[in-house]
Structure 1
Amino acid sequence: MRVTNTKATAAELTATEKRVLLALKEEKKECDQRSLSEKTGINEDAVMQTAFMLAQKGLCEIKEEKKFYYRLTEEGEEYAGKGLPERRALDFLMDEKEATVEDLKNEFGVRGNIAINWLLKKKWARIEIRERGRSLIPASIVQDGLSSGVDEEILKIVNKGETEREILVSQVKLKEGEINGFLTQLISRNLLETYSSVERKIMLTEAGKEVLSQGISIEEEIAQLTPELLRTGSWKGRKFKRYDVNLPSKETFPAKIHPYQRILDRMRRIFTEMGFTEIKGELVQSAFWNFDALFVPQDHPARDMQDTFYLATRKPIEASEGLIRNVKQMHEHGGSLNSTGWGGEWRKELGEELLLRTHTTAITLSYLASHPEPPVKVFCIDRVYRRETIDATHIPEFDQLEGIVMDRSVTFSNLLGLLATFYKKMGFPSIRFRPGYFPYTEPSVEVEVYMPERGWLELGGAGVFREEVTNPIGVKYPVLAWGLGIGRLAMISLGLTDIRDLYESDMDWLRKARVF
């Protein structure tokens, strides 16, 4: 702001503003809020508020610099001292040459699953089926020894104390952009925490120096006229604090439902209006309902530990022996259908493994098994979990919309019409379907919507359940099924480019987000 009349500006200064100006004059150069607070005897918050007022009047300048710092979590401190679970597991493997999954779980306890997952993610080991079961074998790249990784170096550096980002980058000797992936990974593993602080430097402008050169004196002002001042008359001859009635008033923000929650509610409302019933289920499912009952082979990559969160315990399958036998026969030779199945031996113990569900189809299929007679028309909106590297479009915990329709005469065309209706109600008039492949539906399609600024975007998959899925659970009629990714749809609807923003407590964005 340009100051045209320094005398008039000086006359309008409050006593607090004068104190801050005089303190800045003593400093001669830039000064931080802590130093100003010590010199003026005013608390830091009030000092900064005063500095901002002086900056509006053009008498001082405030420079802000945001700095990022990193510190270890409790788990991170443990790993910095003992080594990452995968490093310790690798040392164990190198000594033993190979080890079963159970060996590693027994050796490392609750850290066993973590170690196995990261051994596979880092390609330090591979899984092979041996006589003793699923075994981990050291990869060829580690046979001659493996030096510390960047993630391990970061843990060692930050273990010395809270570390500023610039210092961390220089010590790791990576470029600014190269270190981001490792930091994100450590944060997602809950080994590293990050926080930021804004450092402000305050300095006089030329106008501020001119005001000071004219000389200013501090005179106590009355900011509030109290009954005591009126009764005693001591207000007479005193200076009152000036108020600018033209200043904008403080914004108010009424409460409203979170934008993402509104989208979830809207989806529920659309399907409810279309005659569907919402169902719920447990977060922890058996591999039987999550994979086997859906005709996903037991050696399918999606079942690997680097893609799925497995629990350390097993549990008997919650299904009748007849249903389990039907699924086993379907996998091994196609059961009573004209199908070859997947061949090989279906192992019940793999179906007993517990995991965090990777999709809500486990819920809808279990419901269908207990309601084999038509009509069935249900949907499920709930949280699912997959081992994903966190980035702008992937997170390990997200919501999915799943649904099924089972009736005597439903067809593939009914499925396409249903999905088209849903997306149009969600505000996407341009929709197309492309042929797709999923292990448990045939025919299958991928659903795409058109956005003028981004082109065609894939938002989900759908199809008709294969007989290999419906026959073992006793369903004799067609089942239309779909699974739609909510996160990407929400990003498009809200104009976001990073899926993580859906879960951030960004008050400014939440206040400005439109209500629809």
Structure 2
Amino acid sequence: MELSRNEKLLIKTLKELGGSASIDILIKKLGMSIVEIMNAASWLKMKGAVKIEERLRTEYKLSPEGEKSLNQGLPEKRLLESLLKSGKENIEKLKNEIGKDVVSLGIAYLKGNGIEIINGNIILQDPEKARYAVETNTNSLKNYLNADQETLKRLLKRGLIEKRDIVERIISLTNVGNSIEDKDLEIRDEITQLTPQDIQTGSWREKDLKRYDIRMFAPLPDMGREHPLSEFISRVRRIFLSMGFKEIDGDYIVPAFWNMDALYIPQDHPARDMQDTFYMDSESNLPDYAKTVENIHKSGGGISRGWRYEWNREMARKNILRTHTTVNSIKYLYDHRNEEIIRVFMVGRVFRRENMDPTHLPEFHQIEGVMVEPSSNFSMLLGTLHRFYSSLGFKEIKFKPSYFPYTEPSVEVHVFTDGKWLELGGAGVFRPEVTIPLGIKDKVLAWGLGLERLAMLYYGLNNIRDLYIADLDILRSLPLL
């Protein structure tokens, strides 16, 4: 059997290691790269000399909390040390001294194991029993590498250790590989390129030439690509551009007037509270038609009864980080109010005081759009949205009546995916209290759709934060659009 230099080295090393070894061990032993080892192993597998197996190995390591507990002591140990001084401590007093979490966790693991809670006090009733519980838990943590499955489960549940499943490649000699004699494993230098001197002197006859095969194993190169979220935004843009819409953009920092008041959102609306909106330490001037908006808010301007309150001009002048992209649509309508036909959209970032969780972020994107033309109607709005979601691959789409302060009628868009209906955005016809101050008489069709939730569905993600992390392995695993 003809063998290359690396193939001979691999067989010799496997024989020294008892006929089988993992890739990691071979890398350390041979000083070769994983690509070189897998190339040699792939060739030897084709020749029947080795077999390559994949095994799942579970590895445990201390979590940051586990390392902290090992260095500073488990919460139950620190609690016991405090109780041994007096035998009785007030819970609230102890929380101030050694920490709320230490006391709470310590009680959880020692209650019934030497301590009891009576009238807001921690009583040490059986010091030896408590010491035994603390020593048992401490030893379990120290010796977690040799622990049984039940102990590992307890440590995992407490967050003291972390579990990781590792796929390990094992290369083993077959009978054919074991039968190769040592004399056939003599190592000779191989050359990959002939020089003019080799040819002229004939020295090439004394050297081994490395063979090449286009079928041999080779790693796929890491190729650059656009970020998956940027790819998805580009796809959304292409859909609306293909439908004849024009893309617009706008400022992140806007006066509350354009973000709220011009959209007939009352100044006492919960969305305007400090806990929901990011306010800036600056103000902006208001447009001329702010007086008309003020009258609409106060008395309805002959259109409706209005909100019936005293409109605050200073509140309207305050600058905020835009909470929705509709602010740019209404501004565009004001700047182009004399145009008969308007069909625009934008995909932009918006900002709200949201707590981060798997479905919410304080900064996210909205897909915004408006249509104005003499024949515009509610059915046209629904048809446009149906075509958009159909273009993204959703087969079942339905609309549910809803409420928004500045549209009537209003709907929510729902799509059927993974066996359930999901709400993905809102839409409606701007109320006359919004459009008449602008001098627009035709119906204005508008929508504001969530981008990240759409992208999560498209990429099969359960956590919105996965769209923004810098984990290259996860980003590369997401499908190309």
Q: Tell me the TM-score normalised to structure 1 length.
A: 0.60
Which structure 2 residues correspond to residues 272-351 of structure 1 after superposition, within 5 A? Answer: 272-308=241-277, 310=278, 313-320=280-287, 322-341=288-307, 343=309, 345-351=310-316
Please point out which of 447, 453, 474 is paired with 1:482: 447
Q: What is the rounded CA distance, in whole Å, between the counterparts of 1:205 and 1:301 in structure 2?
A: 68
Please point out which of 211, 218, 221 is paired with 2:189: 221
Q: By how many angstroms is 1:443 displaced?
A: 1.3
What SS class does the counterpart of residue 446 from structure 1 fall into?
strand
Q: Deviations over 1:358-402 (max 9, x none)?
A: 211010011122233342332222222334444554444333211
Q: What is the rounded CA distance, in whole Å, between the counterparts of 1:426 and 1:318 in structure 2?
A: 41
Q: By how many angstroms is 1:349 displaced?
A: 4.5
Q: What is the rounded CA distance, in whole Å, between the counterparts of 2:169 and 2:242 in structure 1?
A: 59
Which structure 2 residues correspond to residues 84-123 of structure 1 after superposition, within 5 A? Answer: none
What SS class does the counterpart of residue 372 from structure 1 fall into?
coil
Q: By how many angstroms is 1:61 displaced?
A: 6.2
Which structure 2 residues correspond to residues 176-195 of structure 1 after superposition, within 5 A? Answer: none
Q: What is the rounded CA distance, in whole Å, between the counterparts of 2:468 and 2:204 in structure 1?
A: 53
Q: What is the rounded CA distance, in whole Å, between the counterparts of 1:55 and 1:497 in structure 2?
A: 43
1:366 and 2:366 matched: no
Which structure 2 residues correspond to residues 100-499 of structure 1 after superposition, within 5 A? Answer: 205=172, 207=174, 211=178, 215=182, 217-227=185-195, 228-244=197-213, 246-247=215-216, 261=230, 263-308=232-277, 310=278, 313-320=280-287, 322-341=288-307, 343=309, 345-375=310-340, 376-408=342-374, 410-428=376-394, 430-451=396-417, 453-494=418-459, 496-499=461-464
Q: What is the rounded CA distance, in whole Å, between the counterparts of 1:221 and 1:428 in structure 2?
A: 61
Q: What is the rounded CA distance, in whole Å, between the counterparts of 1:416 and 1:37 in structure 2?
A: 61
Q: What is the rounded CA distance, in whole Å, between the counterparts of 2:392 and 2:345 in structure 1?
A: 16
Q: What is the rounded CA distance, in whole Å, between the counterparts of 1:514 and 1:38 in structure 2?
A: 36
Q: By how many angstroms is 1:281 displaced?
A: 0.3
Question: Counterpart in 2 of 1:89?
Answer: none
Amino acid corresponding to residue 381 of structure 1 in structure 2: V
Q: What is the rounded CA distance, in whole Å, between the counterparts of 1:24 and 1:306 in structure 2?
A: 65
On the 8 A contact 1:402/1:481 being kept in 2, the answer is: yes
Q: Deviations over 1:189-221 (max 9, x none)?
A: xxxxx9x99988787746499739954644123
What SS class does the counterpart of residue 204 from structure 2 fall into?
coil
Q: Deviations over 1:207-254 (max 9, x none)?
A: 499739954644123141412332332232444445455446776899
Measured at CA, do residues 307 and 203 of structure 1 come closer, stay the same or move farther in structure 2, by a change above 3 Å?
same
Q: By how many angstroms is 1:279 displaced?
A: 1.2
Measured at CA, do residues 233 and 409 of structure 1 come closer, stay the same or move farther in structure 2, by a change above 3 Å?
closer
Question: Counterpart in 2 of 1:58?
Answer: 50
Q: What is the rounded CA distance, in whole Å, between the counterparts of 1:278 and 1:68 in structure 2?
A: 51
Q: What is the rounded CA distance, in whole Å, between the counterparts of 1:246 and 1:449 in structure 2?
A: 46
Amino acid corresponding to residue 460 of structure 1 in structure 2: G
Measured at CA, do residues 500 and 368 of structure 1 come closer, stay the same or move farther in structure 2, by a change above 3 Å?
same
Q: What is the rounded CA distance, in whole Å, between the counterparts of 1:225 and 1:288 in structure 2?
A: 74
Q: By how many angstroms is 1:416 displaced?
A: 2.4
What SS class does the counterpart of residue 461 from structure 1 fall into?
strand
Q: Tell me the TM-score normalised to structure 2 length.
A: 0.63
Unaligned runs of 5+ in 1: 1-10, 72-140, 154-165, 168-172, 181-193
Q: Deviations over 1:256-296 (max 9, x none)?
A: 76665555344434433444322110122233322232233
Amino acid corresponding to residue 377 of structure 2 in structure 1: T
Q: What is the rounded CA distance, in whole Å, between the counterparts of 2:159 and 2:413 in structure 1?
A: 36
On the 8 A contact 2:194/2:204 being kept in 1, the answer is: no
On the 8 A contact 1:67/1:199 being kept in 2, the answer is: no
What SS class does the counterpart of residue 235 from structure 1 fall into?
helix
Q: What is the rounded CA distance, in whole Å, between the counterparts of 2:233 and 2:272 in structure 1?
A: 28
Please point out which of 6, 12, 25 is paired with 1:16: 6
Measured at CA, do residues 349 and 46 of structure 1 come closer, stay the same or move farther in structure 2, by a change above 3 Å?
same
Question: Counterpart in 2 of 1:183?
Answer: none
Measured at CA, do residues 462 and 199 of structure 1 come closer, stay the same or move farther in structure 2, by a change above 3 Å?
closer
Q: By how many angstroms is 1:403 displaced?
A: 1.3
What SS class does the counterpart of residue 366 from structure 2 fall into?
strand
Higher Cα Rg, which structure: 2
Measured at CA, do residues 300 and 225 of structure 1 come closer, stay the same or move farther in structure 2, by a change above 3 Å?
same
Q: Across the two proteins, how many residue pairs are aligned to each other? A: 398
Q: By how many angstroms is 1:433 displaced?
A: 1.6
Amino acid corresponding to residue 234 of structure 1 in structure 2: S
Question: Counterpart in 1 of 2:76?
Answer: none
Measured at CA, do residues 19 and 198 of structure 1 come closer, stay the same or move farther in structure 2, by a change above 3 Å?
farther
